[in-house]
Amino acid sequence: MADTLATMPFDEALERFEPVLGLETHVELGTTSKMFCGCRTTFGAPPNTHVCPVCLALPGALPVANDKAIESTIRIGLALNCTIAEWCRFARKNYFYPDMPKNYQISQYDEPLCVNGYLDVEVGGSTVRVEIERVHLEEDTGKSTHVGGATGRIHGADYSIVDYNRAGIPLVEIVTKPIPGTDRLAPEVARAYVTELRELMRALGVSDVRMEEGSLRCDVNVSLMPRGASEWGTRTETKNVNSLRSVERAVRGEIERQAAVLADGGKIVQETRHFHEDTGATTSGRSKEEAQDYRYFPEPDLLPIAPAPEWIEELRSELPELPSARRRRLQAEWAVSDLDMAAMHNAGAIDLVEATVAAGVPAADARKWWMGELARRANESGTALADLPITPAQIARVVELVASGALNDKLARQVLEGVLAGEGSPDEVVEARGLRIVSDEGELTSIIDQVLSANADAADKVRAGKIAAVGALVGGVMKASRGKADAGRARELILERLGVSE
């Protein structure tokens, strides 16, 4: 079927239709060796150097399951509030594609290791509970590269090459139940869910979850139903969306596209779609009619998995503090509002503020600098806060200089600017740019004398008892010192010099 490019504006689409989401996330585990053989899993090795008879599927090779991967999957399941199966099996998913040398992938089918969990995500000040259908363990495929075409896809390519280093790396798939009721927040809920999941994986230490390297990949399912309808619409599945921003855009784009199709009397075809970074739109992939029958059956070369209940309880008791609990704890420690906490979370500032507080800075100051001046600069340069070339320890030093009276806020901002520009540590920048507050009496007095003679009118007013006029003189001193004077001390000295007491 030809793809139409028509879209309906998001707001209108939401007035007429209700979206339902479903997210399938693949996480490559950070185990040292592969799922069913001893090959290394390091990213970026020369092609086809981490391979052996098992992951190349040479005749007679037999798989052995990686304990550590099973343990990590159970920990993920526990952190997602799932029930862990007492007994389950691997299954063969039969298909041929050159990146899967065995003709089948070892996966799990109707007996997943973990089922029926949930993950709470915070969006727009409220909590949305995303229910988890299943968490299962499988092996990753190799990576094909199609050379010569314009799109990087197989169509139009001159030739294709394949790298089996990734084939057989343990891969966990986390599938949500359908998520209804998110309405106009659907794109944000999808993004917040993947963000929370990524943080959870990091806290568990089971994966480096780098979306840009493919160790976390997301398939985004979306359907629409007319408002008030009782049955969900037909879903599409947008494959391998590889950034958080793209997850949000893919949902939004699909809502806008499906709404236009439905409003035009058309039908949504159940199919996979590809997301295009440049336009934010999706295009048609493979439809369900063409989908193959995988002829799943229990993997005969592997033993069933039967984790002992005591082991599961031990793993449960050893789970680390999870990201949502940690945020609640920090929010209480820092005494900030839900809104401020959410803003810090969205800006990726929580770890930075925490490290700055650990370096001895009051929470309010740490938050002020990271969410104010530094967030502004990160925004301007289009970098993530964490990627700014400045450390929590350096912020702590700047705050210390302000507290001791050596810098005021304005000078502190210049120090930060210098550090960000690579001019060195805060102390080096203060030194090189001469940014210390002038509180030295002699230097201040000579600036004050200049200002008094240049502003004789204002000086006369103050002498005559109009103390309010001193503001202009202090302003003059600040200007003449290019912001470096200690304003309070300057005011005292001016009044003293004019023979006025308050």
CB nearer Mg ion, residue 122 or residue 140: 140
Q: Report, in Å, the least distance between residue 175 CB and Mg ion.
A: 7
Binding mask 64-93 for ligand ADP (x = CB under 6 A): ------------------------------
Q: Which does 52 bind (CB under 5 to 8 A by kind): ligand ADP, Zn ion, Mg ion, none?
A: Zn ion
Question: What's the closest the beta carbon of residue 251 comes to Mg ion, in angstroms?
Answer: 17
Q: What 3-state DSSP class applies to 225? A: strand
Stretch that binds Zn ion, among 3-11, 33-41, 86-94, 129-137 (CB under 5 A): 33-41
CB atoms closer than 10 angstroms to residue 257: 25
CA 314, 320, 326, 330: dihedral to nearest 10 degrees?
A: 110
Cα 157 to Cα 154, 162, 282, 329: the distances in Å are 5, 14, 21, 53
In the complex with ligand ADP, the residue whose CB is nearer, 109 or 370, is: 109
Tokens of 29: 């585990």
CB burial of 4-25 (b: ≥16 within 10 Å; e: otherwise) equals eeebbebeebbeebbbbbbbbb
* 25 in contact with ligand ADP (CB under 6 A): no
Check if the beta carbon of residue 409 is closer than 8 Å to that of residue 402: yes
Residue 221 sits in the site that holds ligand ADP (CB under 6 A): yes
Contact 297, 175 (CB under 8 A): no
Can you tell me which of 24, 99, 417, 427 binds ligand ADP, judged by CB under 6 A?
24
Residue 131 lies near ligand ADP (rule: CB under 6 A): no
Residue 169 neighbours by CB distance under 10 Å: 26
- Choose between 43 and 294: whose C-beta lies nearer to Mg ion: 294
- Nearest to 413, CA basis, from 382, 477, 369: 369
Please identify which residue in 37, 74, 255, 420 interacts with Zn ion, judged by CB under 5 A: 37
Give the type of residue at 450: Q
Residue choice 9, 53, 124, 178 for contact with ligand ADP (CB under 6 A) = 178
Candidates 10, 43, 52, 270; binder of Zn ion (CB under 5 A) is 52
Site residues for Mg ion per CB under 5 A:
24
Count, residues in the chain: 502
Rounded Cα distance between 172 and 204, Å, is: 14
| Residue 445: both structure tokens together | 């007095």
- Nearer Cβ to ligand ADP (233/476): 233
CA 297: distance to chain centroid?
37
- State the angle between helix axes of 186-204 and 67-79 in degrees (0 to 180), rounded to the nearest 10: 130
The half-sphere exposure of 82 on its side-chain side, counting CA atoms within 13 A, is 26
As a whole number of angstroms, the distance between CA 212 and CA 226 comes to: 36
Cα–Cα dist 486/408, whole Å:
8
Could you say whether residue 177 binds ligand ADP (CB under 6 A)? yes
Cβ contacts of 15 within 8 Å, gap of 6 or more:
227
State the binding string over 467-496 for ligand ADP (x if CB under 6 A, else -). ------------------------------
CB of 182 to ligand ADP, least distance (A): 11
Mask for 222-261, x = binds ligand ADP (CB under 6 A): xx--------x--x-x------------------------
Comparison of 188 and 237: residue with beta carbon closer to ligand ADP: 237
Q: Does 169 bind Zn ion (CB under 5 A)?
A: no
Which of the choices ligand ADP, Mg ion, Zn ion, none does residue 39 contact, using the CB cut-off of 5 to 8 A by kind? Zn ion
For residues 236 and 331, which CB has a smaller minimum distance to ligand ADP in the complex? 236
Is 20 within 8 Å of 258 (Cβ atoms)?
no
Q: What's the gap between Cα 57 and its chain centre?
A: 36
DSSP 350-410: HHHHHHHHHTT--HHHHHHHIIIIIHHHHHHHT--GGGSS--HHHHHHHHHHHHTTS--HH
Instruction: Tell the smallest beta-carbon distance from residue 299 to Zn ion (Å).
Output: 17
Judged by CB under 6 A, the stretch of 65-73, 216-224, 306-314, 414-422 that binds ligand ADP is 216-224
- Residue whose CB is less far from ligand ADP, 21 or 494: 21
Residue among 13, 22, 186, 365 that touches ligand ADP (CB under 6 A): 22
Minimum CB distance to Mg ion, residue 328 (Å): 33
Q: CB 135 → Zn ion: shortest distance, Å? A: 24
Residue whose C-beta lies closest to ligand ADP: 22
The candidate with the shortest Cα–Cα distance to 23, out of 202, 198, 153, 225, is 198
Among 55, 247, 385, 411, binds Zn ion (CB under 5 A): 55
176 binds, among ligand ADP, Zn ion, Mg ion, none (CB under 5 to 8 A by kind): ligand ADP
Task: Give the one entry of Zn ion, ligand ADP, Mg ion, none that residue 178 binds, where binding means its C-beta sits below a cut-off of 5 to 8 angstroms depending on kind.
Answer: ligand ADP
Among 13, 14, 21, 39, binds Zn ion (CB under 5 A): 39
Give burial (CB, 10 Å; 0-12/13-18/19+) of 119.
Answer: buried
Provide, rounded to whole angstroms, the least separation between the CB of residue 30 and ligand ADP: 24
Which residues of the shown chain bind Zn ion in the complex (CB under 5 A)? 37, 39, 52, 54-55
Which residues of the shown chain bind ligand ADP in the complex (CB under 6 A)? 20-24, 133, 175-178, 221-223, 232, 235, 237
